[in-house]
Structure 1
Amino acid sequence: ETEEEMLETADAISGLPVEFLKIHQLQVIKDTRLEKLYREDPFHLFDYDEYLDFAVRFIERLSPSIVLQRVFATAPDAMLIAPLWGKGRQEILRDIGERFNELDTYQGRLYKSPAVEVLHVE
């Protein structure tokens, strides 16, 4: 899935009757099929700054009526193969908030609301 396809998912979700949403980065966890695939043929995972940027761009496209319950995931260090960000929960939340402030943006800024037919009466 490309980044653009992932962003289009925000548009699609916003058109559904969704009230709550959890999003997070892909994580490779020890002793899983994904770990085996990753070790055999490593694929790109977001580094920390890439994820902050992506999360902001995704959230900008979400309907403002959707409540975000999660914006990142964590796994115990002993289980996590990648990505190795070395960040705690509070730091990640702070950095996402700071990125929104730096870009002067917010959830729903790029939300494409469904077209509404407007009748003009003369």
Structure 2
Amino acid sequence: MSLVEVTDLSVEFGALRAVDQLSFSLAEGGALALVGESGSGKSTVAGALLGLHRGTGARVAGSVRVAGTDVRAATEQELRRLRGAKAAMVFQDPLSSLDPYYAIGDQIAEV
């Protein structure tokens, strides 16, 4: 069973299509890298995995399942249970998210 299953994910901001029919799966215990130049949609994909585009005006299409939760159909309460418990995101500015004086593993375990 996949921990993350994304099928035909598209995300649009107005006339700009930031992600165009992306599909991938990630097995529990596996690793996946999204690699691309600045502006290629990596953070947009990560936001879609946690349902962070709700209420922003972004149009999200396709299927996104994380830890058995259909992110696009989930209620706000279901998303709150998913975020932090099963999935989390460290945003692009690591110094605002992580303390350089402590080991990363300790900081993530604390959450």
Pairwise TM-score range, normalised by the shorter structure: under 0.3
TM (norm. structure 2) is: 0.27
Greater RCO, CA 8 A, separation 6+: 1
Larger Rg belongs to = 1
| Structure with more strand by fraction | 2
